Structure 1
Amino acid sequence: MASKSIAMQSEPTGDRQAMECAIRTWSTDAVPAAQRADYWVGAVCDCFLDMEVEPGQRQAFSATLASMPCGGLRVNRVSGSAQRVRRTLQGIRRSGGDNFYYLLCKESSPCHVAQDDAGAARLLPGDLALIDSRRRYLLEFPEAVDTVSIQIPIGWLDTWLPAADRWLGRRLDGAAGWARVLSAYVTQLCAEQPARLGTLQAEHLGGLLSLACGTAPEVPPRPGLLLRIEHCVRQRFGEHGLTAADVADDVGVSLRTLHRALSAGGSTFALLLMRERMAVAQRMLHAPSHRHLTVAEIGRRAGFLDPSHFARACRQWCGRTPAQERCAPAQSFASTH
């Protein structure tokens, strides 16, 4: 299967070499006419994933594919003769764990997109559609390809569009609403130099796609967010009825972002709050300066409004009742939880 990029056969040097290597290009222009169809099948599989490609006309077939990185995504522009592209169950198995979402944007001629066994959606110029390579799909380009295909990691899109399954194989009207803005933005990405494409442009794409699909954009967890959440809980643990929504509002993020940040750190809000309250309660139970306080009062100051709740939590975390823990040698429960 021929898949070497004709455009990459030259050997540029220095900064020019780095720039050109950022753009991968496949073209049938320098391939003999009789070999172009086979070459193109290899190019598609090389750039994307294992797919079956059926050129509409093998004798006069021609096509070009350019691919460049964009902050963890890849922007691919495909132009050329009519063709049909299939992602089959066999291709999915051969690809192993390498799978992506693809956002398609048609530039100047209609095409048809179908995911699984659902009916095909007809895309007009400027329209968009989302497909998932973990499932079968069919792309039919009866006139010409002229399509932008943005390769999107599965986990990345899930942070922006939690219900992505609802949109697979569906037409996004590129002439209306936020889909119109998204379509123009995708076109602009193709016009940019690779050096100007990065995480900022990728995040703009995620936000616009979220808006086009009718959901509010959700900003991915920022570095240091987990530490800010932990600090807020450490400051407010004593408030009776403290909720995750209270903390999310305090640190300036959505509730979903807070839960996602905690999950990424291997924790939950309930676990974080309980750990903080029990750490404080344990310190007070062992502190000579707090000997005059009752066990119930120590529990209240640690955030436990109900003495029985404090007793259950203490047995769970320390293996003893609060009274037993008070008499035991001081030992942080953090080493065992």
Structure 2
Amino acid sequence: MNTPLRRWSTEAASHGRSLDYWVDAVCEGFLAMDVRSRAPQRFEAALTSAALGELQLNRVEGSAQDVYRTPRHLSRGGPNYFYLLCKSDEPWAGAQEARGTRLAPGDCLLVDSRRRYEFHFDTRCDTISLQLPSDWVERWLPDPAAACGRALEGRGGFGAALSAFARQLQPELALAPPLPPALLADQLGALLALAAGTEAPPARPGLAARIADAVRERHAEPGLTAAAVAAGLGIGERSLHRALAAHRHTFAQQLMACRMDSARRLLADPRFDRLTVAEIGRRVGLLDPSHFVRAFRHATGHTPGALRRQR
């Protein structure tokens, strides 16, 4: 892929101008905000960013700081996004308008840039910040405002799964993503909806089984998405994800499980020895050979070639 990494660092600032440079960098890399420091002369920070499909993966590293997005910033207009933040090393605090929370290491926080917010990093600001398009979030959460400004706990349940997945979305991953960006985005959206605990009507009886059958039938299609399967079944994408969530599944997990099962069968059958590993990957819907090998090793503990030799 040709996704470039973008980086801003106070190393580029002249002496005594680090905080001013950082405010300008934040406004360029994200959107208009104020940043304050209790030790501006010793302030240092860096921002690394890369696009992954419709998502933007950001890593912020640096000194203690307080961040404010105020009505003055909101009045400037411009593009708006949701941000999902996760800091795994130390507690911190955040707020969206009047709703504030203290976050433990590993907790996630969702905020909407169309409304006031603030973050308080007491010692270090080292954080993953995922920029999410507003329409993308609204596809996954029927009431995003209900999820904003409160801690999505990272110590158990789907919050732990969301936290672990979000922390893997480092900007460098966008240079060679292990799965198609749309599939990674689907996984993030499903985990966000589950962790936020949004209410939904019960899934129709038998819908999860119909979805599983459709995924099995279509798993070999390269780039298969939840939206395509939902359209084929005549249901909405949100209904698909909620039906799977009721059974503690996600679309990405189910699709990859089907692909790996199919690959194992092909590798175990001597009749397919004439096929290269890359061709087997293509036959199960993974066109990039390196993606296929990584996914297969993750699923089985072996590379495809090693499993074939052990037959």
* Preserved contact between residue 230 and residue 236 of structure 2 (Cα < 8 Å): no
Q: Which residue of 2 aligns with 1:124?
A: 104
Determine whether 1:102 maps to 2:83.
yes
SS, match of residue 77 in structure 1: strand
- The correspondence of residues 89-168 of structure 1 with structure 2, limited to 5 A, is 89-96=71-78, 98-118=79-99, 120-168=100-148
SS, match of residue 67 in structure 1: strand
SS, match of residue 75 in structure 2: helix
Q: Which residue of 1 aligns with 2:151?
A: 171
* Change beyond 3 A, Cα 1:255–1:158: closer
Deviation at 1:189, TM superposition (A): 1.3
For 1:35, give the aligned amino acid.
R
* Preserved contact between residue 101 and residue 131 of structure 1 (Cα < 8 Å): yes
| TM-score normalised by length of structure 2 | 0.63
* Change beyond 3 A, Cα 1:36–1:255: closer
Within 2, Cα distance between the matches of 1:60 and 1:255?
49
Deviation at 1:193, TM superposition (A): 4.3
* Preserved contact between residue 49 and residue 59 of structure 2 (Cα < 8 Å): yes
| TM-score normalised by length of structure 1 | 0.59
How many residues end up aligned between the 2 structures? 214
- The correspondence of residues 11-160 of structure 1 with structure 2, limited to 5 A, is 18-19=2-3, 22-96=4-78, 98-118=79-99, 120-160=100-140
For 2:181, give the aligned amino acid.
G
For 1:40, give the aligned amino acid.
W
Within 1, Cα distance between the matches of 2:226 and 2:117?
29
SS, match of residue 113 in structure 1: strand
Determine whether 1:201 maps to 2:201.
no
Within 1, Cα distance between the matches of 2:141 and 2:238?
12
* Preserved contact between residue 33 and residue 60 of structure 1 (Cα < 8 Å): no
Deviation at 1:65, TM superposition (A): 0.5
Identical amino acids, percent of aligned pairs = 42
Deviation at 1:222, TM superposition (A): 2.9
For 2:154, give the aligned amino acid.
G
For 2:196, give the aligned amino acid.
C
Which of 1 and 2 has greater Rg?
Answer: 1
Q: CA RMSD, aligned part only?
A: 2.5
Q: Which residue of 1 aligns with 2:285?
A: none
Instruction: Please list the CA deviations of residues 156-195 of structure 1 after superposition, one character each: whole Å capped at 9, or x if unmatched.
Output: 1111111111111001111111110111111111162423
SS, match of residue 176 in structure 2: helix
For 2:26, give the aligned amino acid.
V
Within 2, Cα distance between the matches of 1:257 and 1:214?
15
Determine whether 1:192 maps to 2:176.
no
SS, match of residue 104 in structure 1: strand
Q: Which residue of 1 aligns with 2:304?
A: none
Deviation at 1:93, TM superposition (A): 1.3
Within 2, Cα distance between the matches of 1:104 and 1:72?
17
For 1:222, give the aligned amino acid.
A
SS, match of residue 64 in structure 1: strand
Within 2, Cα distance between the matches of 1:255 and 1:29?
45
SS, match of residue 98 in structure 2: coil
Within 1, Cα distance between the matches of 2:184 and 2:238?
23
Determine whether 1:210 maps to 2:193.
yes
Structure 1: unaligned runs, 5 residues or longer: 1-14, 229-250, 259-337
For CA contacts below 8 A with separation 6 or more, give which structure has more relative contact order.
Answer: 2
